[in-house]
Each structure stands twice: as C-alpha cells, then as structure tokens.
Chain A
Amino acid sequence: MKVTREELAAFADGELDFERHVEVERAVAADPDLERAAAAHRALRAGLSTHYAPILDEPVPEHLRTLLQRKGSVIDLDKRRQSRSTTRFNVPRWAWIAGPALAASLVLALFIPRDTVSERYAGGQIAAALDDQLVATQSADAPVRVLLSFRDRSGDYCRAYSAVDQAGIACKDAQGWRMIEHFDDAKTAGSEYRQAGAASAELMRLAQEMTIGPALDAAQESEARDKYWKKEP
C-alpha cells in the first residue's frame, strides 16, 4: 500500500479519518523507513512547539494590555499614576488603591452581574460600612471592605466595596447609598465562575468610567465622611 507524503504528515498530526489512519498505521509498522519518517514528523512538531512555548510565559507588554482596557479611562489619572501604577493581569490602574483589599480577598467566589439593581439602596452591613469605614484604616478582616472612594460626574460620592458574597459600587444621595453596580454570590446559578479579584477589577474599571477625577486620598475620604458623604452645594 502506498502512503503519500501528505498522508504521512496527516497521519502524524492525527488528521486522517479512522479507517485510513488504521491502514497507514499498519503500513508504518511494517516499514522501518516509513516508521522513521513518521517519528521525524512527530519530533519536528514537538520540537517546534517547545521552541515557541516560552513566548507564552513572557509577560505581555504593557502597551498591548492597555489597548484593551475599557474606553473612558481617565487620561490625567493615567499620567498621575504612571510612576506608581503596577498594573498586572487585567487589573486596571486603580487597582493600586484596592491592592490590599484584593489581596485579602483571594478567595474563589462566584459572581454574576445582577440586572435588577437599578433603584436599590444598600442596607444593613453594607450601608454601615459605606458610611463609616475608611479605606486607609479599615480592619483587615472587616466583613465588608471598601475598595476605594471617588466622586462621579455629578459630584456625588461613590464607593466601591467588596464582601464575602457580594461586591459593588454605590453612590450617596439624599435617600442613602444607591447601588450603581452590584455583583453577588450566585452559587445557585452555578454557570459562571469568576474569581473575586476579577469582579473587583471590573468594579475598578466601572469606577474609572464613572468619574472624571482621581480617587479620593485618605485625607479627602476622611473629610467626606465627616460631612456624611454629602456633596458640597
């Protein structure tokens, strides 16, 4: 039986249909030259994939990642933080603020976006944390951690938070902390697994879209709390 060069290569790649594969397999087993040739094809494939594999482990250049960060990220924020920012993976620039909180939440959790939060207000533990906790001074094991605070385009104070089973962004208005974005634990849905860090990263991105200025620093945050997060008239 004749085996063409194309067939031998396809055989080595596992591309022949079953019937033909079995025939070629027999022919290869019976002919030392064919056997050597098939082995050479396989060795070449293994050699090439080994040769190029290290590229996968190299860090992807920052400018390529930056292209994929959400539109609407704030340019002057970018400049301000260039020296301080250590963007890794898909955690956007604001992550340096939330870094400690992200580290503290290296727990696998299941988050999916909720679509029913439009006019909801934070209650209980979340609202209390948003009222009182400061990013700089909150305790490491606080059940609700505030990731950062900022002002949205209308000047309202907004805060991103994360807890064991939920995370989100809420902005203060006359009624309370209005939830802008809210992810919560969705074990029952079970379809989408995301790391807690990924939800936090997503919140950072959304926060960047909502604001025009930098995030509040510790002093500004403390001052805002003392004014009960009311925006200046």
Chain B
Amino acid sequence: MKGRKTLSIGFEDGVLALLPRLRRFAIGLSRNPVDGDDLCQMTIERALSRRESYEPGTRLDSWMYRIMRNLWIDERRASRRRSQTFVSEEAGAFIGAAGAQDAAAELGDVDRAMASLPDDQREAVLLVMVEGYTYREAAGIVGCPVGTLNSRLVRGRDALLARLGGTV
C-alpha cells in the first residue's frame, strides 16, 4: 500500500514539476501561448488517463514530451485538413494570409524565424537547442532514427542562421 501511494504521489508531483518546461515546449511548438496552454492541457489529460502505461523508474519527462509531441502532430494534421477545405471551398486564402501576416508582425525575429521552419525541423530544434536533449533522447521522443533527427536539426539550424544571421 505504501508503494502504491508513493507512486501515485510521485506521478502527479512529477508532472507538476515538469509543467514550466512542458509549457515552454508547447509554446515553442504551437508558436503562441494560448495554443501552447491548450496543448499543455490536452497533454496532462492524456497523461493522466494513460498513467498506467508509464513505467516507474523511466524518465517521466521524455514520456510527457512524447505525448505532447504526438498530440501536436495529430492536431496539425487535423488543422491542415480543415484549412485545405476552407481554402478550396470558400476561396478565403487572402483573409487567412492577411490574418497570418498581422500575427507575424507582432512576433519578434526569433519567433518569426522559428515559425518559418517546417514542423519536423522546428520540433528537432526545440528539443535539442532549447530543451537540451541529446540527439538520441530527442530521436526517442520524436520516434525517428538518430540520423534523421540530426539532418532535420541541421536543416532547421541552417535556415535559422540564414534568417537571423548574427542577430541572435
């Protein structure tokens, strides 16, 4: 009984302690705080409903990041489908573009440069260069070979360097 209780306390407190980092990753992925916190909420809910599949003693942070990242990918796919429908049926591309431009104007250089990256590169950049994971750990979270992660990272980096030059 003691073991079980200690375990469940550890799980919730563990996630709680990770929240600032999870928010940082979520905001980086989704590119704004509102969507980031939505993603965070979905991640916590998913984690709580799947807590049995978490193996005690393994890294809770990687497990949580993986959940978040998978939810985000699902969400991106769904919204891409939605926007394709929107553009073709309503021919509303201009409205969308204007809105996106306004939003982009409020972002700083780094945010804009990050937003210009393809999702897979942005994710790799965030995991390694912001969250501080090794290539192997980041590849484990993304679920791809280390070599793939490495080349996404390099492409993302080069694009960022080209955009930001020495301003970062």
Q: Taking beta carbons and an 8 Å cutoff, which residues of A are in contact with B? A: 5-6, 9-10, 13, 15, 40-41, 43-49, 51-52, 55-58, 60-61, 63-65, 67-70, 90, 113, 115, 202
Q: How far is the CB of B88 from chain A (nearest CB, A)?
A: 36
Q: Taking beta carbons and an 8 Å cutoff, which residues of B are in contact with A? A: 1-2, 5-6, 9, 12-13, 15-16, 19-21, 23-24, 27-28, 37, 40-41, 44-45, 48, 108, 110-111, 125-126, 128-130, 132, 134-135, 150-151, 153-154, 157-158, 160-161, 164, 166, 168
Q: Are A43 and B150 CB-contacts (below 8 A) given A64-B44, A67-B48, A202-B9?
A: no
Nearest-CB residue, chain A, relative to B132: A49
Residues B23 and A60 in contact, CB atoms below 8 Å apart: yes
Per the bound structure, the CA–CA distance linking A33 and B23 in Å amounts to 37
Q: Which residues of B contact A56 (CB under 8 A)?
A: 20-21, 24
Of the candidates B28, B44, B151, the one whose C-beta lies within 8 Å of that of A67 is B44
Residues B157 and A41 in contact, CB atoms below 8 Å apart: yes
Residues B128 and A13 in contact, CB atoms below 8 Å apart: yes
Residues A48 and B15 in contact, CB atoms below 8 Å apart: no
Nearest-CB residue, chain A, relative to B110: A51
Q: How far is the CB of A181 from chain B (nearest CB, A)?
A: 10
Q: Which residues of B contact A40 (CB under 8 A)?
A: 161, 166
Looking at chain A's contact residues, the main secondary structure is: helix
Q: Are A45 and B129 CB-contacts (below 8 A) given A10-B135, A90-B13?
A: yes
Residues A52 and B128 in contact, CB atoms below 8 Å apart: no
Q: Are A52 and B24 CB-contacts (below 8 A) given A44-B161, A65-B16, A68-B12?
A: yes
Q: Are A113 and B150 CB-contacts (below 8 A) given A64-B37, A90-B13, A202-B9?
A: no
Q: How far is the CB of A61 from chain B (nearest CB, A)?
A: 6
Given contacts A48-B125, A64-B19, 5 further A-B contacts (CB under 8 A): A6-B151, A9-B153, A44-B157, A44-B160, A52-B27
Q: How far is the CB of A22 from chain B (nearest CB, A)?
A: 19
Residues B28 and A113 in contact, CB atoms below 8 Å apart: no
Residues A61 and B154 in contact, CB atoms below 8 Å apart: no
Q: Which of A48, A70, A115 has the most CB atoms of chain B within a 10 A radius of its CB?
A: A48
